[in-house]
């Protein structure tokens, strides 16, 4: 076995407390090297009396490695352990000291998980695992109160530009809660609602006030209550990395320069504040002069923003925060932010916008989840763009599953498009069949799916501002078949725990192939098998489900008996077609 490929460390995603009693332990090996891996475990203070051997399962693979995992319940919440690798012609032991040909007699050289402290257990809100989110860009969802329209508002459904307005507001969303509820969505994520000058509201003027274009704080409180009455949670967008050019402290600095009492609220390189050759003399989001970066290490800034975080959760009743540009804010601030939010509501969901490896924010002291863009990219590369084959997709997903603890995977925010990207249908070349495959994968995958408003009725649009079109409400202009697909698939997910849990196994994902088959759910319990043809030619699948008769399998959407023979589920899939089978378990 290739020793250089074997890796473990007793922290992060490699050894972690899944709950207050259970440890998950993982180790990596070269793909295909090990046939069996076992963990030799026991209590460090009673090693001889408590020692036992725990088999490990291969839970994920990527292009280079296999990842093995086991769940252990230590007798006294602490664990010492080593690994035993076996191949056809070799066996090998790994301790913290290194590789051994035989297991050492004493355990002092073994890996050590000192203690499962309950305060250290990563525990996102339980409700999030059951959630299906719906992202709303409020300026473009529905105009319910024309009296709130800003000057120069344009007729609903016109062509969006970076600076125009169509009058969407909270009353408009409230009037369409029936649509949201019928879709099966049980959580709403709003892009910013706070007062600002732009249509997107990421340039905050007043963090304590709903933008008058959308309504009032009292209206938002009533809206949240109406959602809660329907079992729908509400998540707001917080822009704490930067403010807007009309934010009162920034206006003061613009006027008074270094003499402003707010001068240290921002990162100023040179006074007076100005733009030189396109680069502001103060730190901003990107190089946007209207978005000055806040100094979140400053005690007054910190106190102000933490009060904002508390107010909307405790007094308005929102269910959590999505944090814009979260990776550019210091970790110390986010730790205090979490303490503040969880004190206001322990079940509040804290979601960070991070586009890359996010392990440093997901250790239980900062965020509950991040926007899972690596998932987004893998799904789009396979289903929408055809950039990778089935093996490439499975490898990308395997790497992601191994990169985070299971508890993180279960509440990861899985999106396929948003106000920041082209719409899913456009990314799929306006091919509805490709779009359905991508959405089916999203809605049968571990984590929390989020649908961008209008995708369910067939809206398209390239990047900003085209992806921010007005919601289509005319029934004749909506794609009724696509809406039915989303509604039925969301209902399928919500009805079956197997589609929401963490267990996922690829049954077929070959190099050079467009056929993808994966299983959800554990043996003995409820199971699903999903087959997808991401190619432009018809294909047949025959899936070995480990049952000589393949008895008890049904078509998941209809309940009809599955086409099964010889221990295999069988289907003829058209181009970009799919089949979903279910077994109720034993």
Residues carrying an active site annotation: 324, 353
Reported for 488-495, long-range contacts at CB under 8 A and 24+ positions apart, including other chains, are 488/557, 489/439, 489/440, 489/443, 489/444, 490/132, 490/183, 490/184, 490/185, 490/443, 491/184, 492/443, 492/444, 492/556, 492/557, 492/580, 493/132, 493/443, 493/444, 493/449, 494/130, 494/132, 494/184, 494/186
Q: Cα–Cα distance between 164 and 150 in angstroms, integer?
A: 10
The interaxial angle of helices 299-311 and 331-344, nearest 10 deg, is 30
Q: Cα–Cα distance between 145 and 154 in angstroms, integer?
A: 14
Q: Cα–Cα distance between 479 and 485 in angstroms, integer?
A: 10
Beta bridge partner(s), residue 576? none
Three-state DSSP class for residue 157: coil
Q: What are phi and psi of 229, to 5 degrees?
A: -65, -25
How far from each other are the two terminal CA atoms of the chain, in whole angstroms? 38
Q: Cα–Cα distance between 56 and 66 in angstroms, integer?
A: 12
* DSSP H or E stretch at residue 68: strand 65-72
Three-state DSSP class for residue 452: strand
CB-based burial, 394-405: b 16+ in 10 Å, e otherwise: bbbbbbbbbbbb
Q: Cα–Cα distance between 122 and 18 in angstroms, integer?
A: 7
The two tokens of residue 136 are 């709303």
Task: Please classify residue 231 by burial: count the beta carbons closer than 10 Å to its beta carbon, then call 0-12 exposed, 13-18 middle and 19+ buried.
Answer: exposed
Three-state DSSP class for residue 111: strand
Contact present, 202 and 192 (Cβ < 8 Å): yes
Report in angstroms the alpha-carbon separations of 153 from 157, 175, 293, 420: 11, 20, 30, 23
């Amino acid at each position: 076995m290739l020793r250089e490929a074997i890796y473990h460390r007793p922290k992060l995603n490699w050894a972690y407390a899944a709950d207050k009693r259970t440890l998950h332990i993982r180790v990596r090996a070269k793909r295909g090297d090990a046939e069996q891996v076992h963990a030799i475990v026991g209590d460090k203070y009673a090693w001889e009396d408590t020692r036992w051997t725990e088999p490990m399962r291969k839970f994920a693979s990527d292009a280079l490695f296999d990842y093995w995992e086991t769940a252990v319940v230590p007798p006294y919440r602490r664990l010492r352990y080593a690994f035993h690798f076996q191949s056809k012609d070799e066996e090998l032991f790994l301790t913290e000291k290194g590789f051994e040909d035989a297991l050492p007699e004493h355990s002092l050289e073994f890996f050590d998980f000192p203690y499962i402290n309950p305060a250290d257990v990563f525990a996102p809100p339980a409700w999030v695992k059951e959630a299906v989110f719906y992202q709303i860009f409020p300026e473009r969802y529905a105009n319910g109160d024309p009296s709130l329209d800003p000057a120069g508002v344009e007729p609903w459904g016109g062509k969006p530009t970076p600076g125009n307005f169509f009058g969407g507001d909270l009353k408009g969303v409230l009037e369409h809660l029936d649509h949201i509820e019928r879709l099966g969505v049980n959580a709403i994520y709003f892009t910013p609602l706070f007062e600002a000058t732009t249509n997107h509201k990421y340039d905050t003027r007043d963090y304590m006030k709903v933008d008058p274009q959308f309504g009032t704080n009292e209206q938002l409180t009533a809206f949240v209550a109406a959602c809660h009455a329907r079992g729908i949670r509400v998540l707001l967008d917080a822009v704490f990395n930067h403010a807007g050019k009309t934010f009162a402290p920034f206006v003061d600095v613009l006027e008074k320069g270094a003499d402003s009492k707010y001068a240290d609220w921002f990162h100023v390189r040179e006074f007076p504040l100005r733009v030189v050759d396109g680069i502001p003399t103060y730190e901003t989001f990107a190089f946007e002069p209207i978005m000055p970066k806040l100094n979140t290490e400053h005690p007054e800034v910190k106190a102000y923003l933490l009060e904002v975080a508390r107010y909307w959760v405790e007094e308005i009743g929102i269910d959590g925060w999505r944090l814009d540009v979260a990776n550019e804010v210091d970790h110390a601030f986010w730790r205090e932010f979490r303490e503040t939010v969880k004190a206001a509501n322990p079940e509040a969901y804290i979601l960070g916008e991070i586009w890359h490896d996010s392990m440093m924010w997901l250790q239980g002291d900062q965020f509950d989840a991040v926007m899972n863009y690596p998932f987004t990219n893998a799904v789009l590369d396979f289903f929408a763009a055809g950039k990778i084959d089935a093996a490439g997709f499975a490898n990308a997903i395997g790497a992601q599953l191994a990169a985070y603890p299971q508890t993180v995977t279960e509440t990861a925010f899985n999106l396929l498009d948003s106000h920041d990207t082209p719409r899913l249908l456009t990314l799929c070349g306006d091919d509805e069949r490709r779009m359905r495959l991508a959405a089916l994968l999203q809605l049968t995958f571990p984590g929390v799916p989020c649908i961008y408003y209008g995708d369910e009725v067939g809206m398209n649009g390239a990047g900003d501002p085209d992806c921010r079109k007005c919601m289509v409400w005319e029934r004749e202009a909506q794609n009724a078949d696509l809406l039915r697909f989303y509604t039925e698939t969301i209902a399928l997910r919500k009805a079956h725990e197997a589609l929401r849990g963490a267990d996922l196994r690829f049954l077929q994902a070959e190099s050079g192939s467009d056929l993808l088959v994966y299983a959800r759910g554990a043996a003995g319990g409820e199971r699903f098998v999903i087959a997808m043809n991401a190619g432009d030619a018809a294909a047949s699948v025959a899936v070995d489900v480990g049952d000589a008769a393949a008895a008890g399998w049904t078509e998941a959407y209809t309940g009809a008996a599955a086409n099964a023979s010889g221990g295999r589920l069988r289907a003829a899939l058209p181009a970009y077609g799919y089949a979903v089978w279910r077994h109720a378990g034993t």
